[in-house]
Chains A and B, each alone.
Chain A
Amino acid sequence: MPFKNRLFAAAAAMLLGGSLAGAISAPARAETVLNRGIGATISTLDPQVNFLATDGFILDDIYEGLIDYDANGQIVPGAAEKWDVSDDGLTYTFHLRDGLKWSNGEPLLAQDFANGIVRTIDPATASDKAYIFTTTVAVVGAADFNAGTNKDPASVGATAPDAKTLMIKLDKPAPYALLLMSSFYAPPLHKPSLDKFGKDFIKPENIVSNGAYKMIENVPQSHVTLVKDPNYWDAASVKIDKVVYKVTEDDNTAVKLWRAGELDLTIDIPSEQIDKLKAEFGDQVHVSSSTESVYESFNLKKPPFDNPKLREALSLAIDRDALINKVLKGGYSVNCSYTIPIVDYDAPKLPDCAMPKADRVAKAKQLFAEAGFGPDKPLTLAIESTNSDSPKKMAETIAVMWKQTLGVDAKVHAQDRDSWLAVFSAGTWDVFNDDLVGDFAGPESYLSYMDPRAAAGYNWPSPAYEAAIDKALAMSDQAGRYKMLAEAEKILLDSYLTAPVAAGPNRHLVRSSVKGWGDNPPDWHSSRLMSIGAQ
């Protein structure tokens, strides 16, 4: 029976071939895989365009900036092994490591970093973060280049005198500039692949990157797969072979996936589940302070909110302890400063928070009356809030507190984020349930945002504040600068332009087998710092 024999032979050959192939390709040790929840769908993985923190996790794995962050969010050398800052604080010189390579094996040059900065501010790139190099760290010529008034990229003060040296010249001192030289803001650009593929240069089949990992797969709405890049300078210390970022739009589903072992890390934890998960999983539940400052803003252009006494009364009438620790929970912490808690920075605090409740309420009532309001002249106002759970709950609770303490008739307008921002720009609001996420964990990020000249839309004229900020930013020594910044913040707090309420949370489920995780406010968590051990 020739047919049967042929079939048998074919089956035998397949079996043999299969086992041989298996024997050859069998890895020396099991491949380690880290499954990370990424939250909502990726917006863009274009390193010079992306502005989302979540996409930043992926980009941080596939690109390396001049500096890196360790697990605790502290600066460590990245592609640059050292750097010098000129005495006037206007010139940063970065010295790259020896033998840096792109993922395709080509040498990585200082010019590639300069190209990255130039592309970020190039009007044609249409990047959200161009402002980082035009205002936050004002690179020479960057603003003109971004505005299109000077079209010569050579006019931008990011240059490479040689293959291993990058010079960044600034218009004015930015002592925090180093914090912004990480992969999130200053990744290098592989120009040949951009020239060849255009916008598609970041597709997995085309991408050339310089980080610890390279991207091999990107399925919209589903997942992004990265594998260890042998061309990375420190590949020897990268422990995890493969990282899969899974889109987890629903946080409750993400928790279930983590429970089922399909995720090792989650991007967030729903507030109402924290206590329960803590009881069940203990220190695998990580809740810490983020760089988000949460506050109520008052519209100075709209009477009666131009009256500082009224603003102070409203601030005093917020029982922050009850609001945060009894109602909101979810990892928020009471914050009585405009800035979030920052190491070495001694932030001034609103006096409201330290007052005993009875005194606080009495003073609120007294100032409210002095501002001309009371039972026969009640105040009516609206709080503009987004419709996300926590902000909405916060606004509603504050409305109740104002009603109970001062008899204020406060309504909450909960709306989607775009409408909320549109109301702010229109200037028609009374009280804005506001927040700010710092670009970096330094007081400069927060306080320069409130600088009246930054035209953030608060209509708060304050030459004293401007002078204090200018004086602070000219100081390169951190201790002196922080002291000056604290003086500026005191001016801001005393004005009651805002009523600071809380610092936002970072919330993650981290499987106990994942080692090398550290909580830090800016929420940097490079996969290359992690390893997978025993549960």
Chain B
Amino acid sequence: MFAYAVRRTIGSVPTLFALTAITFIMMRIAPGGPFSGNRRITQDALANIERAYHLDEPLWLQFARYMWGVLHFDFGPSMTYRDYTVSELIRAGFPTSLEVGMWAMLLATLTGIALGIAGALRRNQPVDYIAGALAMTGLAIPIFVIGPVLQLFFGLQLGWLPLTDWPGDLAHKIMPVVTLALPNIAYVSRLMRGSMIETVRTNYVRTARAKGIGEWRTIVRHAFKGAILPVVAYLGPATAVTITGSIVVEQIFQIPGIGRYFVTGANNRDYPLMLGVTLFYGAIVIFANLLTDLARGLLDPKVSYE
């Protein structure tokens, strides 16, 4: 299994290189540049800025310079947030995105699995309908609606929860975490329900039942392990997305994470920032997928990495 993990890690290098190259090219195709926003600037002043950021060099040299930096874990200076390097921005913001994202995923996984199992075992009964309705609500209402509604109701109307002010105590984290978790709760619970319904019909679960070990133990010890597989496959990439921050949740709750950089980096033509967060995100997705596959190896006897 260790050898497999090493092989996969080495195999991800060309992927990341391709990701960087494609992002680099796409950013440069977009019209405008990072310093084109000031229309009164003189040509000399603009030339000075472009020289300072090496934008006057041929593209291949800029790309080579960037890749050389990446090999040394230097993602270059941000062209929008000029007081910081991209590495500094990621280092400052990622722990926050990670914290919110991990709590959200933990909440989503536990609640989603519980709702899913409840729905599967009490199919077409009130529990199932309520779980289903909750899930559909979570999927149908976008978080840019859920977030402000929660703020209005629990923050302003009832005054129970603070609106923002990150970092704060637990109370400050409740609304952003719940907002970010809701769509995932919905998804996980639907996946879990469907998969559990299928699994309880399989031969091995029927065998377990036939042995007379009791319904609860059959579900927990036998069916659960098989039914959780699709959820695990979903959780890998979903966690990667969630812990790298959500621009919507970060803006609504004023959380200083890195999610907004994907949007502001592109809008401001901040080439190094955009490349840096894309590369960082790519690495996390690859890592999350690796973990997912390893977890499948542990859970599914049909999968082996030896």
| Interface residues of A, Cβ cutoff 8 Å to B | 40-46, 49, 51, 123-128, 130-131, 134-135, 143, 146-148, 199, 202-203, 219-222, 246-250, 252-253, 256-257, 259-260, 262, 416-419, 421-423, 425, 436, 439, 449, 456-457
* B40 within 8 A of partner (CB): yes
30 A-B residue pairings within 8 Å (CB atoms) = A44-B81, A51-B38, A123-B51, A124-B48, A126-B48, A127-B49, A131-B42, A131-B45, A146-B44, A202-B83, A219-B92, A219-B256, A220-B84, A220-B88, A220-B93, A252-B148, A253-B163, A253-B253, A253-B254, A256-B152, A256-B163, A260-B155, A262-B162, A262-B164, A416-B267, A418-B37, A421-B37, A422-B31, A422-B32, A439-B40
Given contacts A124-B48, A419-B30, 16 further A-B contacts (CB under 8 A): A43-B82, A126-B48, A126-B52, A127-B45, A128-B35, A128-B45, A130-B42, A131-B40, A220-B84, A220-B89, A221-B260, A418-B32, A418-B37, A418-B268, A419-B31, A456-B40
A249 to B253, CA, bound (A): 10
Q: Which of chain A's residues has its CB closest to B151's CB?
A: A256
Whether A222 contacts B155 in the complex (CB less than 8 A), given A417-B37, A419-B32, A449-B40, comes out as no
B193 at interface by CB-CB < 8 Å: no
B165 within 8 A of A: yes
Residues of B within 8 A of A449 (CB): 40
Interface residues in B250-288 (C-beta closer than 8 Å to A): 250-257, 260, 264, 267-269
Q: Mark B69-81, 1 if CB is under 8 A from A, else 0.
A: 0000000000011
> Nearest Cβ in chain B — how far from A346, in angstroms?
25
Contacts of B4 in A (CB 8 A): none
A235 to chain B, nearest CB (A): 27
* CA–CA, A42 and B78, complex, Å: 12
Q: Are B36 and A425 in contact, with the CB atoms below 8 A?
A: yes
Given A250-B252, A253-B164, A456 contacting B39 (CB threshold 8 A):
yes
Q: B45 — which chain A residues lie within 8 A by C-beta? A: 127-128, 130-131, 134, 146
For residue B64, give the distance in angstroms from its CB to the closest CB of chain A. 22
Bound together, the chains give a CA A72 to CA B48 distance in angstroms of: 36
Expressed in whole angstroms, the Cα–Cα distance for A43 and B163 within the complex equals 25
Complex Cα distance, B45 from A126, in Å, reads 7
Contact yes or no, A143 B256, CB < 8 A: no
A144 to chain B, nearest CB (A): 9
Per DSSP, chain B at the interface is: loop
Q: Is the CB of A128 within 8 A of B92?
A: no
Q: Which residues of A contact B53 (CB under 8 A)?
A: 126
Q: Which residues of A contact B59 (CB under 8 A)?
A: none
Task: Flag if A253 contacts B38 (CB, 8 Å).
Answer: no
Are the CB atoms of B254 and A248 closer together than 8 Å?
A: yes
CA–CA, A253 to B253, complex, Å?
A: 7
Among A43, A134, A425, chain B packs the most CB atoms within 10 A around the CB of: A43
Q: Is the CB of A253 within 8 A of B251?
A: yes
Residues of A within 8 A of B48 (CB): 123-127, 130, 146, 148
Assuming the contacts A221-B260, A222-B254, A246-B254, asked whether A422 and B36 have C-beta atoms less than 8 A apart, the reply is yes
CB neighbours of B141 from chain A (8 A): none
Give bound CA distance, A439 to B41, whole Å: 12
Choose one: B44, B93, B156; the contact of A143 (CB below 8 Å). Answer: B44
A127 proximity list for chain B (CB < 8 A): 45, 48-49
B42 touches A134 (CB 8 A): yes
> Are B269 and A256 neighbours in the complex by a CB distance under 8 Å?
no
Cross-chain contact of B83 among A44, A125, A131, A246 (Cβ < 8 A): A44
B33 on the interface (CB 8 Å rule)? yes
- Whether B166 sits at the interface, judged by CB under 8 Å, is yes
Contact residues of B with A, CB < 8 Å?
A: 30-33, 35-42, 44-45, 48-49, 51-53, 80-84, 88-89, 92-93, 148, 151-152, 155-156, 162-166, 250-257, 260, 264, 267-269
Q: Which of B37, B40, B93, B151 counts the most A-chain CB atoms under 10 A from its CB?
A: B40
Neighbouring A residues of B148 by C-beta, 8 Å: 252-253, 256
A421 in contact with B32 (CB, 8 Å): yes
**Quick one: closest A residue to B53, CB to CB?**
A126
**Residues on the A chain within 8 Å of B52, using CB:** 124, 126
Closest A-chain residue to B267, C-beta based? Answer: A416
Residues of A within 8 Å of B165, CB to CB, are 262
Taking CB as reference atom, which chain A residue is nearest B79?
Answer: A43
Asked whether B44 lies within 8 Å of A134 as measured between CB atoms, the reply is yes
A221 touches B256 (CB 8 A): yes
Across-interface contacts of B37 in A (CB, < 8 A)? 417-418, 421
* List of A residues within 8 angstroms of B162 by Cβ: 260, 262
Query: How close is A172's CB to chain B, nearest CB, in angstroms?
Result: 15
Q: Give, as a whole number of angstroms, the nearest-CB distance from B166 to chain A.
A: 7
Chain A residues with CB below 8 A from B82, complex form = 43-44, 46, 49
Instruction: Give A416's nearest chain B residue, CB to CB.
Output: B267
Min CB gap A7→B, angstroms? 27
Shortest distance from the beta carbon of A337 to any chain B beta carbon, whole Å: 20
Chain A nearest CB from B218 CB (Å) reads 49
Q: Which B residues touch A143, using CB under 8 A?
A: 44
With CB as the reference atom, state the residue of chain A lying closest to B261.
Answer: A221
Given contacts A49-B82, A260-B163, contact A253 B252 (CB under 8 A): yes
Residues of B within 8 A of A421 (CB): 32, 36-37, 39
Closest CB-CB distance, A255 to chain B, in whole Å?
10
- Whether A418 lies near B30 (C-beta < 8 A) is yes
The one of A51, A146, A250, A417 in contact with B251, judged by C-beta atoms closer than 8 angstroms, is A250
When distances are taken between beta carbons in the complex, the residues of chain B under 8 Å from A126 are: 48-49, 51-53
Q: How far is the CA of A425 from the CA of B89 in the complex (A)?
A: 32
A194 to B52, CA, bound (A): 17
Question: Which of A131, A222, A418, A423 is in CB contact (< 8 Å) with B33?
Answer: A418
**Please, which residue of chain A has its CB at the minimum distance from the CB of B266?**
A416
Chain A residues lying within 8 Å of B253, measured Cβ to Cβ, are 253
CB contacts (< 8 Å) of B30 on chain A: these are 418-419
Q: Chain B residues near A416 (CB, 8 Å)?
A: 32, 267
- Asked if A220 and B81 make an inter-chain contact with CB atoms under 8 angstroms apart, the answer reads yes
Contacts of A260 in B (CB 8 A): 155-156, 162-163
Residue of A nearest to B147 (CB): A253
Q: Which residues of A contact B39 (CB under 8 A)?
A: 421, 436, 456-457
Is B41 a contact partner of A128 (Cβ separation < 8 A)?
A: yes
Distance between Cα atoms of A531 and B247 in the complex (Å): 35
The residue on B at minimum CB distance from A417 is B37
Q: How far is the CA of A143 from the CA of B84 in the complex (A)?
A: 29
In whole angstroms, how far apart are the Cα atoms of A128 and B36 in the complex? 10
